[in-house]
Amino acid sequence: DAMLSPLLVKLTHPFPDAQQAALPFELAALEAILTSVLDSYVQSLDRIAKRTEQNIAALKATVNPTVISELYQLKRELDEIIDMVKALEGALDDIQQDDPTMARMYLTALEDPDAQSRLDRGEYRTEEVEGLLDAFA
């Protein structure tokens, strides 16, 4: 699958630099997933742009109902991508408004009884998650 192959590479080698190595694995995995999703959107947009340019060039030669139909289809594909990006942005924004959810994203830390008791008291560690989500929102 076009999306899973790059994701697997990112997950097998999640720490290309020292800054990322400081991230817990679960956050590195989340970053890899978000990067793969955005890469997929960019590839789709590039494909749509190329096909649009070809169709516009064809329209300059002659008005053709097939080309106009293709442009309409490309517009629908573009609208779908825009809707998906907006939905992802909304989901990331919703998560950023919920400190308990962000704190629970530190899965490995939840194994520590002290970390769990801090969560129970409402003490949340969310800086790394917020920074990561900010980069994608």
3-class DSSP assignment, residue 105:
coil
The percent of residues in the chain predicted with pLDDT above 90, rounded, is 41
Per-residue pLDDT tens over the stretch 2-45: 667 766 776 676 556 555 556 788 888 888 889 989 999 999 99
Quote the pLDDT of residue 17.
57
Quote the pLDDT of residue 127.
85
Quote the pLDDT of residue 15.
55
Quote the pLDDT of residue 3.
66
Residue 118, class by beta-carbon neighbours within 10 Å (0-12 exposed, 13-18 middle, 19+ buried)? Answer: middle
Quote the pLDDT of residue 13.
67
**Among all chains, which residue has been given the structure tokens 């990112």?**
10
Q: Which of 9-18, 43-52, 119-128 has the lowest mean pLDDT?
A: 9-18
Mean pLDDT for all residues in the chain: 85
More confident residue, 7 or 62: 62
Confidence of residue 97 (pLDDT cuts 50, 70, 90): very high
Write the DSSP assignment of 3-17 as a string of letters: THHHHHHHHHS--SS
CA atoms within 13 A on the CB side of 46: 6
- Mean pLDDT along residues 84-91: 94
